[in-house]
Amino acid sequence: MRNIFILSLFLPAFLMAQVGNDFKFERIIFHTTGCYGFCSVYHLEIDSNKNAKLFSETVYKYINKGSYIKDSSRIGYFQGRIADTTFNKLVNEIQTIGIDSLTFDGANCCDAPIKTIIIYYNNKRKYLRSMFPPNKARRLVSLLYEICSVNTFRKSNGKFEIELEKMSAEKLQ
């Protein structure tokens, strides 16, 4: 009886650890749209090898007291690698957010940028799109914005494509 009790205490923790170990990040795509104000527009892709492609379509720089200007030095196509710490934070956030059950409401009502996140993991594709993602996705969205706005990548000589904001097969059925 004692062994069953001990087993019942440790088995759930063991199973949870095994579920976490089975997560395989493949790539993430992040798109933002503009707004009626000064919202930067980004298109980002990060793969499992830490390679990043960023198309900064429109970037605004804060001047002072609510004043912004376009920052042409940060507009264009960029490529590079994500720092290990940033990549680990990204993958950890995706793992702990409950990605299988995460949903965005698709809100598109007013003046705010629409955020689209497409995550490939465990041979699955998760499509999320909303003007106002749920609170549990806040850290993930903030981290993706940070990667785009800090932009430590080198400017690319040529253009490249990042998967378009298209509806997932699940949404079309």
Domain ranges of the chain: 24-159
Cβ–Cβ < 8 Å for 75, 58:
yes
Query: Over pLDDT 90: what percentage of the chain?
Result: 62
User: What is the CATH T-level fold of the domain 24-159, as seen in this structure?
Assistant: Mago nashi protein (3.30.1560)
Q: What local confidence, expressed as pLDDT, does residue 19 receive?
A: 46
Q: Which stretches of the chain are assigned E, i.e. beta strand? A: 25-32, 41-47, 51-58, 60-64, 67-70, 76-81, 115-121, 124-130, 154-155
pLDDT at 21 > cutoff 70:
no
Spatial CB neighbours of 73, under 8 Å, sequence gap ≥ 6: none
Structure tokens at 16: 């949870």
Q: What local confidence, expressed as pLDDT, does residue 62 receive?
A: 87
How many CB atoms sit inside 10 A of residue 171's CB? 10
DSSP bridge pairs for 127: 118
* Mean pLDDT of the 42-58 span: 96
Amino acid in position 56 = S
* Mean pLDDT of the 107-124 span: 92
Cβ–Cβ < 8 Å for 50, 143:
no
pLDDT at 20 > cutoff 80:
no
**Whether the predicted model's global pTM rises above the 0.95 cut:** no
Cβ–Cβ < 8 Å for 153, 80:
yes
Choose among 46, 120, 40: nearest CA to 83.
Answer: 46
